[in-house]
Amino acid sequence: DELRLLVRERLQQMTQAVIRSIVGRASILEALSVAGL
């Protein structure tokens, strides 16, 4: 059970990091397109 909880926490942390990087990349692309690049 402890291992399962640990794995779940790790997955959630990874998911949040991935979402953050995707959102960051999307906002950068949006800023570039707005700038006309």
* pLDDT above 80 (res 37): no
* pLDDT above 80 (res 12): yes
What's the whole-number mean pLDDT along residues 9-26? 96
2-29 exposure pattern, b = at least 16 Cβ within 10 A, e = fewer: eeeeeeeeeeeeeeeeeeeeeeeeeeee
* pLDDT above 90 (res 16): yes
Q: What is the Cα–Cα distance from 25 to 7, expressed in whole angstroms? A: 27
Structure tokens at 17: 């990091």
Structure tokens at 18: 């991935």
Q: What is the Cα–Cα distance from 19 to 13, expressed in whole angstroms? A: 10
* pLDDT above 90 (res 36): no
% of the chain with per-residue pLDDT over 90? 92
What's the whole-number mean pLDDT along residues 9-19? 97
